[in-house]
Amino acid sequence: MTPDRQPFFQRYSEYILPALMPVVVLVITIGAWLLRTFTTSPALAVNAIAIVAIVLGGYMRFRAGLRDIIRGKITVNVFVVVAIAAALLIGEFLPAAVIVFIMSAAGGLESFTLGRTRRAISSLLDLTPKTATIDRDGTEVTLGLGEVKLGDVVIVKTGERIPVDGLVIDGEAAVNQAPITGESMPIAKFSGDEVYSGSLSEAGHLKVRTTKIGNDTTLARIVHLVEKAQATKAPVARIADRFTAYFLPAILVISVAVYLITGELVRSVAVLLVACPCALAIATPTAVTAGIANLARRGVLVKGGAFFEIAGKLEALVLDKTGTTTIGRPEVTDVISLDGHSAGEVLELAASAERLSEHPIGRAVVAKAHEDGLRPAEPKEHKVEIGHGVVAQVDGSRVVVGNRRLLDRHDISLEARQTKTLEDLEHEGKTTLVVAADGQAIGVIAVADTVREDVVSAIGAIKNLGVAEILLFTGDSRRIAESVAARIGVDHWLAELLPEQKQHEVSRLRERGQIVGMVGDGINDAPALAEADVGFAMGTAGTDVAIETADVSLMTDDLGKVGETIGLSRKVAKRIKINIALSMVYNAVGITLSATGVLNPIPAVLYQELGCISVIVSSTLLLWAE
């Protein structure tokens, strides 16, 4: 049964029950208080009603506490069991019921906080349509999503959400894929492009061949990953667990000491009640969950709470060049005329010669010509000379496009000034192609893997966060590495590195005592990503390996997301530490007030739970942190 067809109570039971239970306990407790205050009912009847409230509201916590006691573990639930048992032993049935009410109310608020973040992520699944329009031999057939099979061709029209992951085989559309990648602007999709389930076709018509369905779609995997991450504790959380293990015995000693000194059992019990470390217990999970949800909304997937603390302490960040700081494919950067021909004529002639080329550089030349509105001619002859370039017959002219070795093969010479032009471009880290017609060099085309537009500002933002050292690693030549590093503002770079050498260099940085992050594509850079304290995989939407192996997956190619992750990680870690510190101070004050008789059992619990609620509210604010 699909979520939208489930009964209301079944869909929201995990949120309704925690919210409803405090109300039930409160009503019963008030009933017991009214009975004792305004009637002559025997105390046994009043206590029996209070016990009903205690059992209903505290059953799950008592069961968990007893289980932990059997296992020899000292937890918050054990603390609650001891405190409630002490209250009952001295005959404080109504106060015990009030305690259970306040704790169940705090638990309900915590469930709401955690549930809100789960709903924020799980609701992404509701973006997936329940039906799909399939192209069956030219006929449009509407099927339930469960009936769609791999390889089916899905038709998506303007205003419709894409129901599957797949490849566009026909049509074009502006697709809003913010739920998957966090990109705010629609992305133009053409034949051969990937699309993801839950994305919205804002304008256009697509035919999509299905590659993933159901739980295998990128959207479903994102939800699974985030839910799994929410269950992972940060190192700070383990500190809280260890604190609780020592805290309970200490409080028991203080409670006994208060009784021996004052002779008042009520004060002793009040100390136990006010010291319940509920605020301490929820300080970490609520903050971590809110942080995970916040980043997921931006298209950043974090594997678990542990990485919040590590990412916030990064001292060095290693950037892979290709695909991380650069686009990852060659583009034409310069078109220079050498003998009076216009740059457009040079480019059009080169594109005509490269029109049938399968080489990435040849495709880049053709793409540039189309981008400039030129119309490359169909070559009559086309010969690829591997490693050198192409030779073609274009409009009666013999056209040679390639490197200087190709020119030597065809006895085409360059003047000194023309050679100087090539050397200047190559010094900038660009690949040069000489364009010659009928034995005469007429122009030069420079091609390079261009730097992403937002990289410089992203690196500046990361530096402003206090990351002391940013390095560029690449398998390209030293000349190219130096050129790219200078353009993006990175002072340190290493070139001509194999994957295992990148891993070794990351290991060397860590051996120096630095906390190191690595940003790569998640596949080729896998060894270095695994070696780093935190591995950031960029542009991983739809990439199963990257989503599963990276510590942090960036669903787009936006390096700025790394800075956002580091910044929010620091806010999460700082909020956790503040919450823990405040809870300790709160408990210390409460213990003092209870020991001196200022707080009796009920006021003691009210005081303690107000601190718990303040921690929850504090953590919830991280949902909207920038």
Q: Residue 61's CB: how many other CB atoms inside 10 A?
A: 18
Residues 6+ apart with CB under 8 A from 38: none
Phi, psi of 435 (to 5 degrees): -105, 120
Q: Residue 402's CB: how many other CB atoms inside 10 A?
A: 26
Between CA 390 and CA 355 the distance in angstroms is: 10
Sheet holding 316-320, edge to edge: 300-302, 552-554, 534-537, 516-520, 316-320, 469-473, 492-494
Between CA 408 and CA 434 the distance in angstroms is: 11
Residue 360: both structure tokens together: 């990435």
Between CA 310 and CA 439 the distance in angstroms is: 61
320 included as an active-site residue: yes
| Number of Cα atoms under 13 Å in the Cβ half of residue 350 | 38
Q: What is the DSSP string of 256-319?
A: HHHHHHH--HHHHHHHHHHT--HHHHHHHHHHHHHHHHHHHHTTEEES-THHHHHHTT--EEEE
Residues 6+ apart with CB under 8 A from 55: none
Sheet holding 381-385, edge to edge: 326-337, 440-451, 431-437, 397-402, 389-394, 381-385
DSSP 621: G
Contact 344, 372 (CB under 8 A): yes
DSSP 5: G
CA 206 and chain centroid, separation = 29
Residue 623 burial (C-beta neighbours within 10 Å; 0-12, 13-18, 19+): middle
Return the SS3 of 332: strand
Which is the catalytic residue, given 152, 320, 525, 533? Answer: 320
Q: Are strands 316-320 and 469-473 parallel, antiparallel or unpaired?
A: parallel
Contact 552, 563 (CB under 8 A): no
- Catalytic machinery residues: 320
